[in-house]
Chain A
Amino acid sequence: MTMPLIGSDALSYAEALPPDWPGSFWAHIFFWVILLILFITVIVLLFTWLERRWLGRLQIRPGPNRAGPFGLLQPIADVFKLLLKEDIVPDKADKWVHWLAPVVALAPALLVFAVIPFQDGALLADLNIGILFILAVSSMVVIGVFMAGWGSSNKYSLLGAMRTIAQEISYEIPLVLSIVGVIIISGTLSLNEMVKAQQDVAFIFVQPLGFIIYITAALAEVARTPFDLIEADSELVAGFHTEYSGMKFALFFLVEYAETLAVAAIATTLFLGGWQGPFLPPWMWFIIKLFAVFMFIIWVRGTLPRLRIDQVMGFAWKFLLPLALINVVITGVEVLAWPDAPLLALGIINLVVAAVLVLLMSKLFKLGGGRVPV
């Protein structure tokens, strides 16, 4: 019946399924894959709509409001437009690399959702190393992006791709370290267990500094303002996807939003209590929190200008990395010294520490760089 696919506890999690669940392991996989792809597509469509409406509201304009009620059908219209557009491949492009890039980028962006719990036990695979899986898989998107930049044989694309590599690899480190704090406190790597550990207090209150570092690094990971240098429209036209059109462009678009969705989902799961919440069904809480994080990301986009590449890198290495390291050390010491401390007490200590550290670091932190003598 069930076969151990990943890890040794495949059987146990098959047992953990709700009783009325289709029993077979493969039925489970099949059902979830379809559901996840549908879920991602629908949410991404909703995200594009929400982004434009919400940005419009921030920018004192209505946003798309012609297609359907409140412009809700606008994403559908866009999808049709993109599907019908001609697919242009530049003459000098590396055809295979150019063709493969969107696929390579899309696969890991979708894989992330395999381990995200929508409610208790409702997930494709409850890996006992779930968070490691996410971190490993999500950094593979960079390869697809770099293939796109390299294969297009366009200088803007190449510059965008080089920035991608530099930026995403740098921000991976504070991102991982900010999550380590959560792992220490919850004592597990499984995302479902982490959500359960937030029964009483969401980890955003226990790990405020971790959350700030995570959300900042995540913005850089998915190339959102103020770290959107990869596709900086005022400098690089469209960055790595300058030479993409039609369906391939749509795939990159999907990747970009799926990544944002993944980041929002991870933030929800790790810091905002995942599917936990009163009154409403758990999966609905999960989606509400998802949208809240996404709206925060758009809010940042509507507010801040873009940083320069050396400033972005300096920020990762000189500001976020030390803070993340200090956060890990402090959390570790707390857990060792006071093993059964109430989470709220830890939270209050961490909040004070975070405030002091952030203020102190912003005083000490100076962005270098500037004119290079040539």
Chain B
Amino acid sequence: MAFKTEHFMLNVGPQHPSTHGVFRMRFTLDGEVIVDLEPIFGYLHRGIEKLAEDRTYTQNIPFTDRLDYLASMTSNQAYCMAVEKLAGITVPERAEYIRVIMSELQRIASHLAGIGFFLQDLGAFMTPLLYMFREREKIVDLFDMVCGQRLNYNYLRFGGLSQDIPPEFIPALKKLVNALPGFIDEYDRLISENEVFLVRTKGVGILSREMAISSAAAGPVLRGSDVNWDIRKSNPYSVYDRFEFDIPVAKTGDSFDRYWVRLQEMRQSVRIIEQAIEQLPEGDVQAKVSRLLKPPAGDAYVSIEGPKGEIGFYLVSDGSVKPYRWRVRPPCFINLTTLRDIIIGWKVADAMVIFGSIDIVLGEVDR
């Protein structure tokens, strides 16, 4: 007698421990093997792009905080750079350096949270997450010091920053930067050679190089798939051309590689911050910009390398105080394009691992 089996549907989310917010996936399962997957978006859609059309350029900076709320600084920076390009504003050098320091700190903080949650999805009960948050806490304290906020920083302004860094910032930063390589080594030692971690992530969810490029995957997802592409190198914005750093690239494109790229990127970020502290010039941190900015009519697209990937802003101005069109290029959302292709054929447990290795923040996916 032959067994008669049938596929069944399993709904994961929007309320589920490992969907990183309110993402929903509808699996069709054959036993535990996923034969089909439909990602369902929109549970956190707040219509930010529409709302932004009704506010002035400056009023829109807080919206960028609320996109990827684990990486507000880089969203701030991308938006400010887009407006600066549109309005032709030049940023004082000191402000550029501080921006670089902030976005590299943000990259480390975001990767720490990303790796922590990734391991949480793997079933490592909270320990790695809390260890990661130990360092993230220190970075968040530094952000608190410069802008009084711990999550939605709203620190950057067109043509500079909302305020200069306080005098106690640099010593605290130096202390952290000196300690960070040790911590990163500790994570490397604890995680990267853990047998269970390796069998769960090596070869799981392989995203091929062609697929990664065709799907416009960005950030660690792209670099995990053997594509040497980092906007900080390929199109150096701000003052990134003055620093020495490497782009970690991994070969296979599996979940482990995406994790590995993140870990190595943290080391490079530390290097950049070290150099930035040394080169940090004195001077103003804010260019003279009209309070009620009216950029000339036209459009501009600027993208920078955020922690999750290429975060870009496409702005259209009609010469008024409000943007005519305010579009975000959301790396988290676009990285999910391949989700279906790389998850199919794996088991439910692997789906969470693969999903976690992409490292998304729903605030940016749904906007």
Chain A residues with CB under 8 Å of chain B are: 55, 58-61, 155-156, 159, 225-226, 228-229, 232-237, 301-311, 367, 370-374
Whether A304 and B345, one on each chain, are in contact in the complex, defined by CB atoms closer than 8 angstroms, is no
B18 and A309 contacting across the interface, CB-CB below 8 Å: no
Tell me how far the C-beta of B121 lies from the nearest C-beta in chain A, rounded to whole angstroms: 5
A305/B119 contact (C-beta < 8 A), A155-B10, A225-B125 known:
yes
Assess whether A229 is in contact with B196, with CB atoms less than 8 Å apart. Answer: no
The answer to the question of B89 belonging to the interface, with a C-beta cut-off of 8 Å to chain A, is no
Cα distance A55–B10 in the bound complex, in angstroms: 32
Measured CB to CB, the residues of B under 8 A from A are 8, 10-11, 16-18, 30, 32-35, 119-127, 130-131, 134, 194, 196-197, 199-200, 203-204, 344-350, 352
The contact of A304 among B120, B121, B196, by CB within 8 Å, is B196
Residues of B within 8 A of A232 (CB): 123, 349
- In the bound complex, residues from chain A placing their C-beta under 8 Å from that of B11 are 155
Q: Give the dominant DSSP class at B's interface.
A: mixed
B32 touches A226 (CB 8 A): no
Q: From B10, B125, B344, B348, name the one whose CB has the most chain A CB atoms within 10 angstroms.
A: B125
Closest 8 CB pairs of A and B: A306-B123, A305-B124, A234-B18, A305-B122, A371-B345, A59-B130, A374-B35, A308-B349
- On chain B, the residues within 8 Å of A155 by CB distance are 8, 10-11
> Known: A60-B131, A234-B122, A370-B203. Contact between A306 and B17, CB under 8 A?
no
- The docked-state distance in angstroms from the alpha carbon of A159 to that of B347 is 12
Tell me the complex Cα distance, A60–B126, Å. 11
Other than the given A59-B130, A234-B123, 18 more pairs (CB < 8 A) read A55-B125, A58-B127, A155-B10, A155-B11, A156-B10, A226-B123, A228-B123, A234-B18, A234-B121, A235-B123, A235-B348, A235-B352, A302-B127, A305-B124, A309-B349, A370-B204, A374-B30, A374-B345
**Closest chain A residue to B120, Cβ basis:** A234
Give the shortest distance, in Å, between A370 (CB) and chain B (any CB). Answer: 6
Q: Inside 8 A of B119's CB, which chain A residues have their CB? A: 305
Q: Looking across the interface, which residue of chain A has its beta carbon closest to that of B191?
A: A305
Contacts of A307 in B (CB 8 A): 196, 199-200
Contact A306 B124 (CB under 8 A): yes
Q: Which residues of B contact A156 (CB under 8 A)?
A: 10
- Residues on B with beta carbons closer than 8 Å to the beta carbon of A373: 345
Is there an interface contact between B344 and A305, defined as CB atoms closer than 8 Å?
A: no
Q: Determine the residue in chain A with the shortest Cβ distance to B204.
A: A370
CB distance from B362 to the nearest CB of A (A): 16
- Give complex CA distance A373, B197 in Å: 23
Q: 24 A-B contacts, Cβ less than 8 Å apart?
A: A59-B130, A60-B131, A156-B10, A228-B123, A233-B18, A233-B123, A234-B18, A234-B120, A234-B123, A235-B18, A301-B125, A302-B125, A304-B196, A306-B123, A306-B124, A308-B347, A309-B32, A310-B347, A311-B199, A370-B204, A370-B346, A371-B346, A374-B30, A374-B33
B-side contacts of A233, CB under 8 Å? 17-18, 123
**Most interface-central of B8, B131, B203, B348 (chain A CB within 10 A):** B348
| Residues from chain A with Cβ under 8 Å of B123 in the complex | 225-226, 228, 232-235, 305-306
Within the complex, the shortest CB–CB distance from A45 to chain B, in Å, comes to: 21
The smallest beta-carbon distance between B209 and chain A, in angstroms, is 18
Contact B199 A60 (CB under 8 A): no
Q: Which chain B residues lie closer than 8 Å to A371 at the CB level?
A: 345-346
Closest A residue to B121 by beta carbon equals A234
A283 to chain B, nearest CB (A): 32
Give which listed residue, B32, B126, B196, B200, contacts A159 with CB less than 8 A: B32
With A237-B17, A374-B35 as known contacts, state yes or no: A226 contacts B349, CB within 8 Å: no
Contact of B124 among A60, A304, A370 (CB under 8 A): A304
Q: Give bound CA distance, A156 to B349, whole Å.
A: 12
Let me know if A226 and B345 touch, CB within 8 A. Answer: no
Q: In the assembled complex, which residues on chain A have CB atoms less than 8 Å from the CB atom of B121?
A: 234
The answer to whether A367 touches B199 (Cβ under 8 A) is yes
A residues in contact with B344, CB < 8 Å: 374
Query: Which has the most chain A C-beta neighbours within 10 Å: B131, B196, B345?
Result: B196
Q: Say whether A305 contacts B196, CB under 8 Å.
A: yes
Q: In the complex the two chains form, is B345's CB within 8 Å of A372's CB? A: yes
Q: Chain A residues with Cβ under 8 A from B346's Cβ?
A: 370-372
Central interface residue in B8, B11, B30, B32, by most chain A CB within 10 Å: B32
Contacts of B122 in A (CB 8 A): 234, 305-306
Do B199 and A304 touch (CB < 8 A)? no
Question: Which residue of B is nearest A366, CB measured?
Answer: B199
Which residues of A lie under 8 Å from residue B197 when comparing CB positions? 305
A261 to B181, CA, bound (A): 42
B189 to chain A, nearest CB (A): 13
Q: Which of B32, B123, B345 has the most CB of A within 10 A?
A: B123
Smallest Cβ distance from A290 to chain B, in angstroms? 22
A116 CB to nearest B CB, Å: 28
Note all chain A residues with C-beta closer than 8 A to B125: 55, 225, 301-302
Instruction: Find the B residue at minimum CB distance from A371.
Output: B345
Q: Which residues of A contact B199 (CB under 8 A)?
A: 307-308, 311, 367
* Complex: A367 Cα to B199 Cα, angstroms: 8
CB distance from B343 to the nearest CB of A (A): 10
Q: How far is the CA of A308 from the CA of B123 in the complex (A)?
A: 10
Decide if A303 touches B120 in the complex (CB within 8 Å): no
Q: Are B349 and A229 in contact (CB under 8 A)?
A: yes
A353 vs B305: C-alpha distance when bound (angstroms): 55
Which residues does chain A contribute within 8 Å of B30, judged by CB atoms?
A: 374
Minimum Cβ distance to chain A for residue B316 (Å) = 42
Contacts of B349 in A (CB 8 A): 229, 232, 235, 306, 308-309
Give Cα distance in the complex from A59 to B352, angstroms.
23
A308 to B197, CA, bound (A): 11
Residues of B near A226 (CB, < 8 A) are 123, 196
Central interface residue in A58, A229, A308, by most chain B CB within 10 Å: A308
Q: Are A304 and B194 in contact (CB under 8 A)?
A: yes
Give the chain B neighbours of A159 by CB distance below 8 A.
10, 32, 348
A228 to B18, alpha carbons, bound, how many Å?
A: 16
The CA of A307 and the CA of B196, in the complex, are separated in Å by 6
Question: Which of A234, A237, A309 contacts B347 (CB under 8 A)?
Answer: A309
Contact assessment for B134 and A60 in the assembled complex, using a CB-CB cutoff below 8 Å: yes
**CA A159 – CA B10 in complex, angstroms?**
10
Q: Within the complex, what minimum Cβ distance (angstroms) separates B308 from chain A?
A: 20
Chain A residues with CB under 8 A of B348: 159, 235-236
